[in-house]
A and B are shown apart, each in its own frame.
Chain A
Amino acid sequence: MKALKQEPLDLIVTGVGGQGNVLASQVLGRALLAAGYQVTVGETYGLSQRGGPVMSMVRVTKEKVMGPTIPAHSAAALVSLEPLEALRVLGTYGHPGVVVLTNDRPLLPLNVIAGTDRYPDLAELKQALSENCAKLYWLPATETALNLGNPILANVIMLGALAAAGLLPIGAAEIEAALGAIFPESKMGVNRRALAKGAELAAAA
């Protein structure tokens, strides 16, 4: 069992209902548990399937059992499947040392579609994120997922990027094994490609 960069190692996976956020955090949890760590994965979903924001908190320690909620401004890394949600969550859980990995594809809130609110300019959003974190990975995960055949693969692509970013005490192989425990082998080919694409995107970022 590798040493943790900090204890607890607190990670947030966020996005919008229906993006596969809960699955992503569950895979992370399984992989870390299999590697011998204590893991607590707190999931928030309620109305979230109806387009609301969703957040999972993954807390990793060697021994101590943690509660399911990360204290404000103390996440080590923030993985977001939607760029606006990245900044929303950064506001509560960010600090100068946080690493942010976000999908660059907006999912417009209904109130934006309706014209009552504006979705921020993407360049401005990207700048707000990069100015307030240690490193920003701004990744075309949905676009890459569409090229692989299904937009839902964005979550696995982001996991591939997270593993490659060197923040976890585990690597892509452990994440792949955790995916293999959930998906049938027939679906593992495309999941492996998604993980590898995520690593490529992170390396290029």
Chain B
Amino acid sequence: MADLTKLTPGQRTLLQGNEAIARGALEAGISLAAAYPGNPSSEILESLADSAAAAGIYVEWSANEKVALEAAAGASFAGLRAMASMKQNGVNVCQDFICNLTISGTKGGIVLVTADDPGSISSTNEQDARFIAKLAELPLLEPSTPAECLAMMRFAFELSEQIGNLVVLRSISRLSHTRAGVTPGALPASRPQPYWDPKVAWHTLPTVLRHKAMLAKLAKAGEIMSAAGFNAYSGPERPELLVIASASSALYADEARDRLGVAERVGLLKLGCTWPLDEALLLRHLAATEQILFAEEVDPFIEDNVKALYAQHAPELGVKRFFGAATGHTPPVGEMSPDVLAEALGKILGREPATVDAAYLERVAQRVAALVPPREFGFCPGCPHRASFWSMKQVLAADGRDGLVSGDIGCYSLAMLPTGFQRANAVHCMGSGPGVAGGLGQLRSQGFDQPVITTVGDSTFFHAALPAIINARWNQSDFVLVVLDNSATAMTGFQPHPGTGQTATGRPGSQLDPQTVLTALGVPCSVVDPYDLEATQQALYDAVQAGGGVRALILRRVCALVQNKRGGHPYTVSVDPDKCRGENCGCHRFCSRVFRCPGLAFDEAAGKATIDPVVCVGCGVCTQICPAGAIQAEPRKEAAA
């Protein structure tokens, strides 16, 4: 990321959606930004962190999303503009606070940015976080382009201050990770001095009265939003079909209309303000057409709310036909695309989208089916998680009681795949690994004797695992907690966290050691290097056999990608072809088939294992798994200490 204060106002520049959100916040004059990393949202706070010194603002990676939003609310109560950004899952983490903050109200402009992930490109779910706006009765903005990200962020802070409540801006992966031309505006010359008059209190009592006031704020927000120019119509006065769309789907609908050549028949109502709905605008457009198609991601949020509005006004509007998720014209899951909308428009209007020569399509499809294997996700070459899960697999196999691993969120979620030897038996949300293990570990009295291991990463440990660990310690649950400490929030791009001691802006923070925390909680704890397979397996086996309450093992080794940047790994690895047993090893190519590091390859012609020098980083772990001792590691000449 880069310092966004360096952009020249008025000069169009290529910005990512997330960068445009950050620049919009800077132009709106924020004083504080906080977030927990998670794709596709991470670059928002990264950009703000890189701009913090020049802008003179406070920016932090928080321990979790709830803390981030609470920090932003603190600044708002002190009269400053502030924001919290997160991926869709983070909205769940803050939900309790959101549903109370909306009743207490806010002072300085405060915006929650959620970057949702339709299609689950980098997530464990594809939940539609827009529902938080309806649940907590908050204004909701949905930009379509990076330029609109910037404009809507500026507007969102104004709106928040005018109504005295939180505003939600919802991005999606395809917008957060899209780059397009954006023309920045001016940065503020000054920001207010923070002050909280102690005679003022922010709370929810009396709740029902404040709830009523909150609804009045929402109504006022609706009036302000309808005049903001983010809802726009294009098309004929009385369209045969009206498409109501938001975000990227509005651009896809426009393109689909052009491609089908039906621009004179189809109207497009692009909504940038999707809660509360601009009822007058919608009623006007509903009256001008007989057929309506909805285009949005992922859930039928606009679709259901417009239908509810229609039901209220059906007597004067007459009969309409609605198309969308409910009728199967748009998919109820996954991403939207220009093709999906071209097909839906074609089906409704009786037009076939132009296609490529059928013989070509058949030929190329046949070639792809015959020649292109899938590309399986895997841990990076040298990843300490591969070594850690290898040891868990060995230890649980040796134990022989059908042991289980309760997984958690991070790179190590991939342990559910062959790269982690399918040694994650459950993966759900941040912190759920030790929570689920805690329940399993209480089933001894019910006759459950399978050993239980749970894995949490170092960042996850601080984010949401601690309450589950405290609960397990308190109630004496029986499981082994493995902290996969790679000193990084690696999955999301190496952001610092409490265990690294660094902060978002590079200012040194206090480093918290999971070992110290666990020891203070009374959880017995040892630290082992996962690259040392023998020591790891011995320690893990002992922990599994020990029984009793929760006991911990910290497998500590820095992320392989971080090590690559710190001068690389220590070895040059090679295979001695005379020693390699090839096809006959371990019931057929043990290292490449079972251990599955991408740095290994199998030379079909020679019938021997080999190392791909472009991919292998030189961690040397595979030398320990070769039954024939054929894999050798020589110290790399230029190796870092």
A residues with CB within 8 A of B: 16, 26, 29-30, 33, 38-47, 49-53, 65-73, 84-85, 87-88, 90-91, 94-96, 105, 107-115, 117-120, 124-125, 128, 131-132, 142, 146, 151
Establish whether residues B588 and A44, one from each chain, have CB atoms under 8 Å apart when the complex forms.
no
Known: A42-B174, A120-B372. A73 touches B14 (CB 8 A): no
List B contacts of A84 (CB < 8 A): 371-373, 375
Establish whether residues A26 and B14, one from each chain, have CB atoms under 8 Å apart when the complex forms.
yes
List B contacts of A91 (CB < 8 A): 364-365, 367-368, 372
Name the residue on B nearest A37 (C-beta): B181
Establish whether residues A132 and B14, one from each chain, have CB atoms under 8 Å apart when the complex forms.
no
The CA of A57 and the CA of B131, in the complex, are separated in Å by 30
The CA of A95 and the CA of B355, in the complex, are separated in Å by 10
| Distance to closest chain A CB from B590 (angstroms) | 11
The CA of A72 and the CA of B255, in the complex, are separated in Å by 13
| Distance to closest chain B CB from A58 (angstroms) | 9
Name the residue on A nearest B251 (C-beta): A67
List A contacts of B360 (CB < 8 A): 95-96, 132
**Which of B193-201, B334-342, B457-465 is near enough to bind chain A?**
B334-342
Name the residue on A nearest B172 (C-beta): A68
**Interface flag for B602 (CB, 8 Å):** yes
The CA of A88 and the CA of B39, in the complex, are separated in Å by 25
| Distance to closest chain A CB from B405 (angstroms) | 19
Give me 14 A-to-B residue pairs in the complex whose CB atoms sit less than 8 angstroms apart, sorted by A's number: A29-B179, A38-B181, A40-B145, A40-B179, A41-B179, A47-B121, A66-B255, A67-B251, A71-B342, A91-B372, A95-B357, A114-B418, A115-B589, A128-B367
Chain B interface size band reads 35 or more
The CA of A112 and the CA of B600, in the complex, are separated in Å by 11
**Interface flag for B489 (CB, 8 Å):** no
Name the residue on B nearest A108 (C-beta): B601
Establish whether residues A94 and B248, one from each chain, have CB atoms under 8 Å apart when the complex forms.
no
Q: Mark B4-16, 1 if CB is under 8 A from A, else 0.
A: 0000000011100
The CA of A121 and the CA of B145, in the complex, are separated in Å by 42
The CA of A71 and the CA of B252, in the complex, are separated in Å by 9
Main secondary structure of the interface of B (DSSP, over half): mixed
Q: Which of A45, A67, A118 contacts B373 (CB 8 A)?
A: A118
Establish whether residues B180 and A40, one from each chain, have CB atoms under 8 Å apart when the complex forms.
yes
Known: A71-B259, A120-B371. A111 touches B376 (CB 8 A): yes
Of all A-B residue pairs in the complex, the 5 with the closest CB atoms, nearest first, are A46-B122, A67-B251, A117-B373, A91-B368, A46-B121
**Interface flag for B400 (CB, 8 Å):** no
List A contacts of B338 (CB < 8 A): 67, 69-71
Establish whether residues A39 and B598, one from each chain, have CB atoms under 8 Å apart when the complex forms.
no
| Distance to closest chain A CB from B215 (angstroms) | 35
Establish whether residues B371 and A124, one from each chain, have CB atoms under 8 Å apart when the complex forms.
yes
Name the residue on A nearest B16 (C-beta): A43
List A contacts of B588 (CB < 8 A): 115
List B contacts of A108 (CB < 8 A): 598, 601, 612
